[in-house]
Structure 1
Amino acid sequence: MDGSLQTWLLTLVAVMIVGISKGGFGGGLGMLAVPIMALTMPPLLAAAILLPVLCAMDLMAMRAYWGRWSLEHVKITLPAAILGTIVGAFTFQYLNADHIRFVIGVISTGFALNSWFKPAQRWIKHKPGAKAGRFWGFTSGLTSFVSHTGGPPLSVYLLPQQLDKTTLQATTVLFFTAVNYFKLLPYALLGQLNFANLKISLLLLPIAALAIGMGVYLHKRVSDKLFYQITYLVLFITGLKLMIDGWQGF
């Protein structure tokens, strides 16, 4: 991390967005964090700095949504997600920064386009079953390990279940708390949790706590509509920028 003002500002914005999302406002838009940070630093570094912050946020969110989750859906998706995380750990070393930028860009723009035009809804006629849950759980674990973008795959399974918004948020929080804490060991073994990165993560914790509180507050009181409109636009633009940068590196 180069320590420039631009880098710090983008990092703070990323932490605020993911914290507000984990607090329950804005759905799975925490996936914006790594793409935003990757504009000024390698994606792997962004992911390493964010992981301890995410783990702290998960504990804060667990306290806010304790006991409101659907264990049925967690039992279906979580074992597959752990397997996806293990696969991600073994393939991590074969991916370079440009490949990851491009993949994150594709995921980001695709998620934004689907939110606007909803092509995926044409394929969803019924609630996804256990097989679909395991597939999307595995995909979520894999993408979560590489770039903390596991939210969209999990949402493909959970959103059609038509859970109320608090149960949906609580289920997502429980799922990613387990996944993120499981990721700590392979991240450490890969040398990503070094002192320099942990020091930056520690400095970001007060912002994380503030963002979680804001997310919980907004979850209870404010409609998501305007937030979604703005954030999906930012997500799309950021994704395009990452795709262009990644493609140029191939």
Structure 2
Amino acid sequence: MDTGLFIIAAIAVTFAGISKGGFGSGAAFASSTILALVIPPTQALGIMLPLLMLMDVANLKPYWKKWAWPESKVLILGGIPGVALGAALFTVANDDLLRFLIGVVAIGFVVWHRWPGRKGPVKPLPESAGFVAGLVAGFTSFISHAGGPPAAVYLLSRDIGKTPYQASTVLIFWVINIAKFVPYAFLGVFTVQTFTMDLYLAPFALIGAWIGVKAHHMVSEKAFFALTYVLLLITGGKLIFDALT
């Protein structure tokens, strides 16, 4: 295995583990983007999915039943058909257009939610919007592991606490990632090479998840949501940048 590739992959996977373990999964998709700079994008997706699933399992115990079930349920109900849609359109989906639109929505939401001088609380998005957010999250998660921002937009609007927010993302993407596995296999995304890489990178996935859980409990609720908004801005900007370049 190329040493440079392994170092880049280890850093990307550790970052994804920290994001998924402590800060709402929103920035975890960047790991696939980083890997796609040095290997084919489909191979990057194939490497990351088993590792993301490993992180999901590692995170379930510390966040078990701490999720906001009504919000999680509606996102999952939208996410499953979103995965099916992603599988159907995997080879023809315009990745750049999707990245651009999701990035605009993510940044627009943060600007709307945190605009200086805005009076009154943000009105919670209805369940119908949550289903649409879940649909988009499932679809974009399938084609690029970028389901975090759409889910974050809905969860942030519902004004739940930091741990229910984090636990909800763990539950939602645990289900969505399981749903993605079989279609990925049928589409030939997994290979002997991707699974071999996963064996080498699994410790970094677990270390990242452990750091993320510890960091989650060390950060105040105010700081957590401030960081969440920053990550949403960064991921939204990165999606737009990727789409335009």
Q: TM-score, normalised by structure 2?
A: 0.84
CA-CA distance at 1:79 after TM superposition: 1.7
Give the SS at the match of 1:15: helix
Amino acid at match of 1:166: T
Amino acid at match of 2:243: M
Structure 1 residue 50 corresponds to structure 2 residue 48: yes
Give the SS at the match of 2:160: coil
**Counterpart Cα distance in 2 of 1:180 and 1:68:** 20
CA-CA distance at 1:5 after TM superposition: 4.0
Structure 1 unaligned spans of 5+: 246-250
**Counterpart Cα distance in 2 of 1:162 and 1:213:** 26
CA RMSD of aligned residues (A): 2.9
Structure 1 residue 106 corresponds to structure 2 residue 117: no
Counterpart of 1:19 (choices 17, 21, 28) is 17
Amino acid at match of 1:242: D
CA-CA distance at 1:235 after TM superposition: 4.7
Aligned residue pair count: 238
Give the SS at the match of 1:118: helix
CA contact (8 A) 1:20 1:26 kept: no
Give the SS at the match of 1:29: coil
CA-CA distance at 1:54 after TM superposition: 0.5
1:248 maps to none
CA contact (8 A) 1:35 1:104 kept: no
2:26 maps to 28
Q: How does 1:50-199 map to 2 (within 5 A)?
A: 50-95=48-93, 99-100=94-95, 102-103=96-97, 106=100, 110=104, 113-114=107-108, 118-119=111-112, 125-199=122-196
**Counterpart Cα distance in 1 of 2:17 and 2:174:** 13
Counterpart of 1:212 (choices 209, 213, 223) is 209
Amino acid at match of 1:210: I
User: Structure 1's 111 and 18: CA in aligned 2 closer, same or farther, altered over 3 A?
Assistant: farther
Structure 2 unaligned spans of 5+: 116-120
CA-CA distance at 1:240 after TM superposition: 6.2
176-185 or 190-199: bigger deviation: 190-199
CA-CA distance at 1:119 after TM superposition: 3.9
Give the SS at the match of 2:61: helix
CA-CA distance at 1:192 after TM superposition: 1.0
Give the SS at the match of 1:93: coil
**Counterpart Cα distance in 2 of 1:145 and 1:151:** 12
Amino acid at match of 2:45: A
**Counterpart Cα distance in 2 of 1:58 and 1:196:** 22
Q: TM-score, normalised by structure 1?
A: 0.83
User: Structure 1's 7 and 169: CA in aligned 2 closer, same or farther, altered over 3 A?
Assistant: same
Give the SS at the match of 1:23: helix
User: Structure 1's 109 and 5: CA in aligned 2 closer, same or farther, altered over 3 A?
Assistant: farther
Amino acid at match of 1:134: F
Structure 1 residue 201 corresponds to structure 2 residue 198: yes
Give the SS at the match of 2:188: coil
CA-CA distance at 1:111 after TM superposition: 6.8
**Counterpart Cα distance in 1 of 2:7 and 2:238:** 15
CA-CA distance at 1:77 after TM superposition: 1.6
**Which structure has the highest helix share of the two?**
1
**Counterpart Cα distance in 1 of 2:227 and 2:122:** 28
CA-CA distance at 1:45 after TM superposition: 1.6
Amino acid at match of 2:73: K
CA-CA distance at 1:16 after TM superposition: 1.3
